[in-house]
Amino acid sequence: MGILIKPLVTEKMTVLGDKLGRYGFLVDRDANKIEIKKAVEQMYGVSVKDVNTVNYHGKRKSRYTKNGLQTGRTNHYKKAFVTLAGDDKIDFYSNI
């Protein structure tokens, strides 16, 4: 679990997984596409056709509290969208 942090389980990603065989993961910010591909193939036992990555920059946030205006920032993160080859599937719900 060093490279793959967690899978993205949303309605949109579920539909993409069913229709196109594309799955999303939150990954380590320093990981490249080759490392992500190897990690997915090793963890889930599937063959990966393509990997697309997106880097997100944390947004500045502020809120009003009893102590006044509190400012901060959300975390930076990286998403990876993995397309599987052939009829391979990943079942995230099998361990529940």
Q: How confident is the model at residue 94 (pLDDT cuts 50, 70, 90)?
A: confident
Q: Looking at the domain assignment, is residue 43 inside a domain?
A: yes
Q: How confident is the model at residue 92 (pLDDT cuts 50, 70, 90)?
A: confident
Secondary structure letter of residue 75 according to DSSP: P
Q: Which residues pair with 49 in a beta bridge?
A: none
The domain of 64 spans 4-84
Q: Looking at the domain assignment, is residue 27 inside a domain?
A: yes
Question: What CATH number is attached to the domain comprising 23?
Answer: 3.30.70.330
Q: Looking at the domain assignment, is residue 35 inside a domain?
A: yes
Helix, strand counts (H, E) of the chain: 2, 6
Give the span between the Cα atoms of 33 and 15, in whole angstroms.
23
Residue 37 corresponds to which tokens in the numbers above?
A: 């591909």
Q: Looking at the domain assignment, is residue 24 inside a domain?
A: yes
Q: Looking at the domain assignment, is residue 51 inside a domain?
A: yes
Nearest to 37 by CA among 23, 54, 51, 24: 51
What's the total number of domains in the chain? 1
Q: Looking at the domain assignment, is residue 93 inside a domain?
A: no
Structural contact between residues 33 and 51, judged by C-beta atoms closer than 8 angstroms? yes
- pLDDT of 71-82, one tens digit each? 999 999 999 999
Q: Looking at the domain assignment, is residue 94 inside a domain?
A: no
